[in-house]
Structure 1
């Protein structure tokens, strides 16, 4: 499947390029792989990061754009990622990081390229579950900053996924959201001293 990566805002990309060009920013980053890499570092595959703010059984899921994430490549592999965030003054560099979500994002994007259909890749974070998914939006011409989940969009949980949710297995939004809703809905607890 062809992936149609939305263009990142130019100011967001500039902030990442500035941080990569700053010896202080790279040296002070908590990313040993970024500091120890020999060779040019290039920000690639900008993905809008949306946060799922509300999952409720009777309401449409509410998402909001939180930033843009760039994979940082050296030669042919991603060694880290850079995140930007929107501030009242515009786009600002947030931080560099490494870890399992960098390689999981790269793996999920390669997996998505083999699927039938055309999608716009995004990231969807579910903070309450410490979960990150690759969101494959069906309308690849849409503005990547708009966060409307369509029932037929695909969500690919990235590793590490929460217990009971298989990482790197694509799910339709209509299938996965009820599972997430069930996980986030507190179970009714009996009152102490009440009969069972």
Structure 2
């Protein structure tokens, strides 16, 4: 069943296109990205949410939309990402990035396309664990800016994932959240009997 990816806000895409056409689109060594990878195109926009309140007392964790991330496609492959963030004045370019999450995101999206249930793809960041997941939201028609984690949602930790968390495998929300909580809450100190 195909994924139902929502379109990015037009202003977010415009901000990324403007950044790609500017001098900020240089690699770390100062060469232009287009000299290295050919003309770059933003593809596969995904809303980026941040998970918070994961260790809160009795309250379910919350998510908040923080941006839209685009994979940057070069001549032969995706080579990086560009992200737009919401500011008080609207959508603005945030940053370019490279690294292992580019390929991991593509792999997770390809695998999700083969699932029998339709999902809306999103990215979910867990900053406390330096973790990024592909969030497969069970309501494919939902507003990508809204929504809490639902029991029918799947989370696919992207590689590299924190130790003890299997990357690139879909986990039900109710199975992965307790594992994340356990990773974040310190174990009680062992007490010596009196």
TM superposition score category, shorter chain reference: over 0.9
The Cα of 1:20 is off from its aligned counterpart by: 0.8
Q: CA–CA distance in 2 between the matches of 1:139 and 1:176?
A: 19
Structure 1: state its 5+ residue gaps: none
For residues 131-164 of structure 1, what are the alpha-carbon distances to aligned partners after superposition, in whole Å with 9 as ceiling and x for unaligned? 0000000100000111310011000000000000
Partner of 1:77: 77
Partner of 2:66: 66
Within 5 Å, which residues of 2 pair with 1:1-196? 1-22=1-22, 24-27=23-26, 34=33, 36-56=35-55, 58-190=58-190
For the Cα contact (< 8 Å) 1:151–1:173, is it kept in 2?
yes
Aligned residues: 193
Secondary structure at the aligned position of 2:123 is classed as strand
Q: CA–CA distance in 1 between the matches of 2:42 and 2:171?
A: 28
The Cα of 1:190 is off from its aligned counterpart by: 4.9
The 1:97–1:7 alpha-carbon spacing in structure 2 relative to 1, beyond 3 Å, is same
What is the TM-score with the length of structure 2 in the denominator? Answer: 0.92
Q: CA–CA distance in 2 between the matches of 1:118 and 1:184?
A: 31
Higher mean displacement: 112-121 or 52-61 = 52-61
Q: CA–CA distance in 1 between the matches of 2:112 and 2:155?
A: 10
Secondary structure at the aligned position of 1:189 is classed as coil
For the Cα contact (< 8 Å) 1:31–1:98, is it kept in 2?
no
Across the aligned residues of Structure 1 and Structure 2, the Cα RMSD in angstroms comes to 2.0
The Cα of 1:21 is off from its aligned counterpart by: 1.1
Q: CA–CA distance in 2 between the matches of 1:26 and 1:36?
A: 11
Q: CA–CA distance in 1 between the matches of 2:11 and 2:85?
A: 11
The 1:70–1:32 alpha-carbon spacing in structure 2 relative to 1, beyond 3 Å, is farther
Secondary structure at the aligned position of 2:141 is classed as coil
For the Cα contact (< 8 Å) 1:48–1:145, is it kept in 2?
yes
What is the TM-score with the length of structure 1 in the denominator? Answer: 0.91
For the Cα contact (< 8 Å) 1:29–1:97, is it kept in 2?
no
The Cα of 1:73 is off from its aligned counterpart by: 0.3
Q: CA–CA distance in 2 between the matches of 1:7 and 1:136?
A: 16
For the Cα contact (< 8 Å) 1:30–1:96, is it kept in 2?
no
Higher mean displacement: 27-36 or 124-133 = 27-36
The Cα of 1:189 is off from its aligned counterpart by: 2.3
